[in-house]
Structure 1
Amino acid sequence: MPHPRLVPAPANCLGRAICRCLNVSLSGTLLAIPAAALAQDAQENPAQEETTETMVVVGTALKVEAPLVETPRPVSTVNREELDERNVQSLDETFRYRAGVLSGHYGADNNTDWFKVRGFDHSTYQNGLRIYREGFYQWLPEPYGLERVEVFKGPSSILYGEAPPGGLINAVSKRPTREEQGRVDLQVGNRDHRQVGLDTSGPLSESGDVRYRLVGLYKERDGDLDHTENERYYLAPSLAVDLSDDTTITFLGSFQKDDGVPTNPFKLAYGTVQDTPFGKVDPSTNYSEPGYDKDERTQSALGYEFEHHFNDTWTFEQDLRYSELDLDLRSTYILSQASATEGYRGHLQRDGEIESWTVDNRMVGKWFTERTENTLLIGIDYQDFNLQGAEGDLFSFGAPIDIFDPEYGNFTPVDDSQLIEREIDKQQLGLYLQDQLRLDDRWVLLGGVRYDSAETDNANRTSGVTQRSDDDALSWSGGVMYLGENGINPYLSYTESFEPIGRVDDGGSLYDPREGEQWELGLKYAPPGWDGYVTAAVFDLEENNTLVTSPAGFQVQEGERKSTGFELESVSYLTDNLQLTAAYTYTDARLEDDERAPLIPRHQASAWLDYAFAGNALDGLKIGGGVRYVGESVDGDIEVPDYTVVDAMASYDLTDHWRTQVNVTNLTDKEYVASCDYWCYYGESRSVIGSLSYRW
Structure 2
Amino acid sequence: MSSLWLTAGLSSALLVGDAYAETASTSSSQQARKSYDIPAGPLESALNRFGREAGILLSFPTDATAGARTDGLSGNYSVEEALPLLLRGTGLEASGSGNTFVLRKVAGSAAGGDAQLPEVKVMGLADATTEGSGSYTTTGQVSTSTKLGLSPRETPQSMTIVTRQRMEEMGLQTLSETMQATTGIFVNANDTERITYNARGYSVTNFQVDGMLNTYGGSLKTNGDNVIYDRIEVVRGATGLTTGAGDPSATINQVRKRPTREFQGNAAVRIGSHHMRRGEIDLSGPLAYDGKIRGRFVAARQKADSFRPLYKEDRTVLYGILEADIGRDTVVAVGYEQQKSDPRGVTWGTVPYWNSDGSVANLPRNLNLSTPWASWNIDEKKTFATLEHNFNDSWRLRAAATHSDRRQDGSLYFGYGGYPNADGSGIFVAYGSFPSDEKMDVFDINLDGKYGLFGRRHDVVMGIGSSERKSISDSVYYDGIPAGYDVIPDWSNWTGNIPQFDVISRGFPSSISKIKQQASYVATRLNISDPLKVIVGVRYGTYETRTQNYSTTGVAATPSGYKNSGVLTPYAGLLYDIDDQWTVYTSYTDIFQPQNYRDKNNEILDPVVGKSYEIGIKGELFDKNMNVSAAVFRSNKDNVAEIDDSVPPNSLPGNAQAYKSTGKGNVVDGIELEASGQVTKQWNLSAGYSHTRSRNNKGEPINTVIPRSLLRVFTSYHFNGDWEGLTLGGGISLQSSFWNTARKPDNSMSRIDQGSVTLVNLMASYKFNKQWTGTLNVNNALDKHYYGRVGFYNGVHHAEPRSISLGLRTTF
The bucket for the TM-score relative to the shorter chain is: 0.7 to 0.9
Q: Indicate how the Cα distance of structure 1 residues 531 and 549 shifts in structure 2: closer, same or farther if over 3 A, else same.
A: farther
Deviation at 1:224, TM superposition (A): 4.4
Match of 1:687 in 2: 803
Amino acid in structure 2 at the alignment position of 1:46: E
Q: Are 1:249 and 2:322 matched, yes or no?
A: no
Question: Which stretch of the first structure deviates more once superposed, 494-503 or 229-238?
Answer: 494-503
Higher relative contact order (CA 8 A, sep 6+): 1
C-alpha separation in 2, matches of 1:515 and 1:416: 43
5 Å matches for 1:144-293?
Answer: 144-261=227-344, 263-264=346-347, 266-268=349-351, 270-271=353-354, 280-291=362-373, 293=374
Say which SS state the counterpart of residue 623 (structure 2) adopts: coil
Quote how far apart the aligned CAs of 1:572 are.
4.1
Distance in 2 separating the partners of 1:511 and 1:221: 46
Letter of the structure 2 residue corresponding to residue 496 of structure 1: D
Residues 322 and 355, structure 1, Cα contact 8 Å, conserved in 2? yes
Q: Which amino acid aligns with 2:799?
A: G
Cα 1:597–1:672 change in 2 (3 A) is same
Question: What is residue 692 of structure 2 aligned with on the other side?
Answer: 587
Q: Whole-Å Cα distance in 2 between the matches of residues 213 and 635 of structure 1?
A: 47
Q: Does the 8 Å CA contact 1:399/1:411 hold for their aligned counterparts?
A: no
CA distance in 2, matches of 1:526, 1:116: 28
* 2:743 corresponds to 1:630: no
The answer to whether 1:366 aligns with 2:472 is: no
Structure 2 counterpart of 1:533? 627
Contact 1:641 1:673 in 2 (8 A): no
Q: Distance in 1 between matches of 2:505 and 2:323?
A: 49
State the SS of the aligned residue for 1:134.
coil
| 3-state SS of paired residue (1:541) | strand
Q: Which moved more, 1:675-684 or 1:656-665?
A: 675-684
Aligned partner of 1:15 in structure 2 is: none
Contact 1:398 1:411 in 2 (8 A): no
Matching residue's letter, 1:470: K
Give 1:73-472 correspondences, 5 Å limit: 73-103=157-187, 105-106=188-189, 111-122=193-204, 123-136=206-219, 138-261=221-344, 263-264=346-347, 266-268=349-351, 270-271=353-354, 280-291=362-373, 293-338=374-419, 340-341=421-422, 342-368=426-452, 372-390=456-474, 398-400=486-488, 402=490, 404-406=492-494, 408=496, 413=501, 416=504, 421-462=510-551, 463-465=555-557, 466-472=559-565
One-letter code aligned to 2:768: L
* Structure 1 residue 399, shift from structure 2 partner: 1.7
User: Counterpart of 2:12?
Assistant: none
Q: After superposition, where does 1:549-568 map in structure 2 within 5 Å?
A: 559=662, 560-568=665-673
Mean Cα deviation higher: 204-213 or 494-503: 494-503
Alignment of 1:642-653 (within 5 A): 642-653=756-767
- Secondary structure of the residue aligned to 1:141 is coil
Instruction: Give 1:348 deviation, angstroms.
Output: 4.2
Structure 1 residues 681 and 556, CA gap change in structure 2 (3 angstroms): farther
Total equivalences in the alignment: 655
Go from structure 1 to structure 2 and tell me whether the alpha carbon gap of 1:651 and 1:257 turns closer, same or farther (over 3 Å shift): same
Q: Given the alignment, which residue of 549, 556, 569 partners 2:674? A: 569
| AA in 1 matched with 2:629 | T
**Residue type at the aligned position of 1:320:** A
For residues 225-269 of structure 1, give each alpha carbon's deviation from its aligned partner in whole angstroms, at most 9, with x where no partner exists. Answer: 221112122110001111021111121211232222263373256
User: How big is the shift at 1:358?
Assistant: 0.3
Aligned sequence identity (%): 23
Pairwise CA distance, 1:471: 1.8
For residues 341-368 of structure 1, the C-alpha deviation after alignment (integer angstroms, 9 at most, x for no partner) is: 5223333421121111100110112135
**Whole-angstrom CA distance in 1 between matches of 2:440 and 2:725:** 46
- Please tell me the residue identity of whatever aligns with 1:264: T
Residues 212, 240 of structure 1: 8 Å contact kept: yes
After superposition, the Cα gap between the structure-2 partners of 1:393 and 1:478, relative to the gap in structure 1 and judged at 3 Å, is farther
SS at match of 2:310: coil
Aligned partners of 1:164, 1:501: CA distance in 2, in Å?
12
Query: Bigger CA drift: 447-456 or 536-545?
Result: 536-545
What amino acid is the match of 2:463?
Answer: G
| In 1, Cα distance between equivalents of 2:536 and 2:686 | 32
Q: Secondary structure at the match of 2:435?
A: strand
Q: Which residue of 2 aligns with 1:46?
A: 131
Cα pair 1:118 1:587 within 8 Å, conserved: yes
Deviation at residue 603 of structure 1 after TM alignment? 1.2
Question: Residue by residue, what CA displacement relative to the aligned partner does 1:5-48 show, whole Å, maximum 9, x if unpaired?
Answer: xxxxxxxxxxxxxxxxxxxxxxxxxx97988979997667933x
The separation in 2 between residues aligned to 1:494 and 1:692, in whole angstroms, is 46
**Greater shift after overlay, 202-211 or 655-664?**
202-211
Give the Cα separation in 2 of the matches to 1:115 and 1:392: 31
Distance 1:555 1:186, change over 3 A: farther
Q: Can you list the C-alpha shifts for 1:91-138, whole angstroms capped at 9, x where unaligned? A: 0221334322112x327x654553111121112111111113211454
Please state whether the residue corresponding to 1:207 is helix, strand or coil: helix
Looking at structure 2, the residues matched to 668 and 509 of structure 1 have their Cα atoms a distance apart, in angstroms, of: 54
- The CA deviation string for residues 129-149 of structure 1, in whole angstroms up to 9 with x for no partner, is 111321145454321111100
- Conservation of the 8 A alpha-carbon contact between 1:523 and 1:537: yes
Deviations 1:192-241 (A, max 9, x none): 11111010000112422111000011111124422111212211000111
RMSD: 3.5
Q: Structure 2 residue aligned with 1:656, among 742, 760, 770?
A: 770
Q: Distance in 2 between matches of 1:689 and 1:38?
A: 44
In the alignment, the residues of structure 1 paired with residue 524 and residue 773 of structure 2 have an alpha-carbon distance, to the nearest angstrom, of 46
Deviation for aligned residue 1:408:
3.7
Closer, same or farther: CA 517–87 of 1 in aligned 2, 3 Å: same
Larger Rg: 2
SS in 2 for 1:70: coil
Instruction: Find the aligned partners of 1:155 and 1:136 in 2 and give their Cα distance.
Output: 21
After superposition, the Cα gap between the structure-2 partners of 1:683 and 1:561, relative to the gap in structure 1 and judged at 3 Å, is farther
TM-score normalised according to structure 2 size? 0.74
Cα distance in 2 for residues equivalent to 1:128 and 1:80: 18
Which moves more between the two structures, 138-147 or 167-176?
138-147
Deviates more, 1:323-332 or 1:592-601: 592-601
Contact 2:126–2:141 under 8 Å retained in 1: no
Aligned partners of 2:128 and 2:142 also within 8 Å: no
More displaced stretch, 156-165 vs 176-185: 156-165
Identify the residue that residue 602 of structure 1 maps to in structure 2: 708
Q: Which residue of 2 aligns with 1:59?
A: 143
Closer/same/farther in 2, CA of residues 429 and 277 from structure 1, 3 Å limit: closer
CA separation of 1:365/1:444 partners in 2, compared to 1, >3 Å: closer, same or farther?
A: same
Letter in 2 for 1:529: D
Equivalent residue number for residue 615 of structure 1 = 721
The alignment partner of 2:168 has SS state of helix
**Equivalent pair of 1:598/1:677 in contact (CA under 8 Å):** no
Q: CA deviation at 1:330?
A: 2.5
Q: Partners of 1:45 and 1:266 in 2: how far apart?
A: 38
Corresponding position: 1:494 with 2:588: yes
Residue 281 of structure 1 deviates from its aligned partner by: 1.4
Secondary structure at the counterpart of residue 153 of structure 2: helix
Secondary structure at the aligned position of 1:133 is classed as coil
Unpaired runs of at least 5, structure 2: 1-48, 58-121, 479-483, 650-655, 742-750
Return the alpha-carbon distance in structure 2 between the equivalents of residues 416 and 52 of structure 1. 50
